[in-house]
Amino acid sequence: MPDSGNSIGVGIVGLSATGGWAAGAHLPALNAVDGIELRALAASSAASARAAGAAYGVPAYTSVEQLAGDENVDLVVVAVKVPRHRELVLPVLEAGVPVLSEWPLAVDLREAWEMERAAGTTPTFVGLQGRSSPAFRWLADLVSEGFVGEVLSATVVASSTEWGTPVPPNLVYTLDRKLGATMLTIAFGHAIDLVSMVVGELRDVVATTATRRPQVPLGRTGQVVPMTAEDQIAISGTVAGGAILSVHHRGGAASGAGFSLLIDGTEGRLEITAAEFPHLGPVTVYGTRGGGRPTKMTPPSGYDDYPGLAGTVIHTLAHAYAAIRDDLVHGTTVAPDFAHAVKRHRLLDAIVRSAATGQRQTLGPCAQ
């Protein structure tokens, strides 16, 4: 790893000259953070590699093995569709190069376990960037420091416009629950990770899920395509300390995307809302202690290192890259890794099993 005087060199799999998430989010986030920079990329074909290499001015490869073998690459970022994560992550780990994989890490818990085991002592990171959000780091501190007293309950109501509304052809794969990129794993997965960060990990869970729209319009073609992914997810369970957590996440919501988290405690209340996805966009916080009327609250200084990015989708991602940089340079373990990803996949797997059997699932010590 580079010493503190050198930049971390990043190689991205999935950085296209034609745009996409890597180009629109990862690259500007990297550009905003000192001490870490794009050094190379890998694409799926020689033509796309040439185009992307020319567009971004870095070496371009046609295989992840070549990318991991570049001596200027200290971190490989896998920013492609979930079904390809395993085939791309494993060769990087075999080469002993640190890797950041987008979330979900894998199509299922078995694959996530395999990738975690393959990492050995190689540093790994997973794209649950909401954990780097200034607002949610502050909220976690507020709760742990006793702002609401002892947490009694936490209630989440969230909605996504996807998984029910017309789907573009390139996202049809998100409708197939077997491919691991569903509302449960993506929208719900990101949200429950943030909630767990603030109020604690679930010790047990009971779930009810449904696919209320088994067919979804294919863009504006007039055709429909099948959907097996859940578009209604309701769970409840207890977190450490005994507080009750309940969540209802709805897909294809006509009213638009949204998120709300209500935390009730013995001494006060916190009300957290977001207009869309809380791990990407801004959140609004109201709080009260001692029964007074809730008032708007803002994080104190010291949480946000990139205030100029506030309100953009790269705000939390820039903080995530800064945490990854520091972990690689200083040997800290702040950014979520593959072990954390397995913890989150274990919860999602327990939700699926509970919904299928009607039975409450207990999450063992390694989920804590």
The whole-number pLDDT of residue 255 equals 86
pLDDT range class, residue 276, cuts 50, 70, 90 = confident
The whole-number pLDDT of residue 290 equals 86
Question: Which of 73-82, 127-136, 219-228, 358-367 shows the lowest mean pLDDT across its residues?
Answer: 358-367
The whole-number pLDDT of residue 360 equals 98
All structural domains of the chain: 8-130 (3.40.50.720), 134-303+338-367 (3.30.360.10)
pLDDT, average across residues 171-182: 97
The answer, yes or no, to whether residue 367 has pLDDT greater than 50, is no
pLDDT range class, residue 335, cuts 50, 70, 90 = very high
DSSP state of 164: T
Alpha helix positions (H), 105-263: 109-119, 134-144, 189-199
pLDDT, average across residues 302-310: 96
Is residue 307 packed enough to be buried (19+ CB in 10 Å), middle (13-18) or exposed (0-12)? exposed
The whole-number pLDDT of residue 125 equals 98
Mean pLDDT across the chain = 96
| 358 C-beta neighbours (distance < 10 Å), count | 9
The answer, yes or no, to whether residue 298 has pLDDT greater than 60, is yes
pLDDT, average across residues 193-215: 98
Phi and psi torsions of 257, nearest 5°: -75, 155
Place of tokens 């429950």: 192
The whole-number pLDDT of residue 254 equals 87
The answer, yes or no, to whether residue 326 has pLDDT greater than 50, is yes
Of 323, 322, 355, the C-alpha closest to 340 is 323
DSSP-based three-state secondary structure for 230: coil
pLDDT range class, residue 150, cuts 50, 70, 90 = very high
pTM equals 0.96
Angle at 81 between CA 77 and CA 83, to 5 degrees: 110
The whole-number pLDDT of residue 291 equals 82
Token pair for 95: 């080469």
Phi and psi torsions of 180, nearest 5°: 75, 10
Question: Which of 48-57, 261-270, 288-297, 336-345 shows the lowest mean pLDDT across its residues?
Answer: 288-297
Angle at 319 between CA 51 and CA 337, to 5 degrees: 85
Calculate the CA dihedral of residues 223, 229, 234, 238 and round it to 10 degrees.
-160
The whole-number pLDDT of residue 2 equals 60
The whole-number pLDDT of residue 249 equals 98
Of 125, 118, 128, the C-alpha closest to 10 is 125
The answer, yes or no, to whether residue 4 has pLDDT greater than 50, is no
Token pair for 71: 């001596």
The answer, yes or no, to whether residue 6 has pLDDT greater than 90, is no
The whole-number pLDDT of residue 295 equals 97
Q: Which helix (H) or strand (E) holds 354?
A: helix 338-357
Q: Measured between alpha carbons, how far is 320 from 341 in angstroms, rounded to an integer? A: 15
- Residues 197, 191 contacting (CB under 8 angstroms): no
Query: pLDDT higher for 365 or 327?
Result: 327
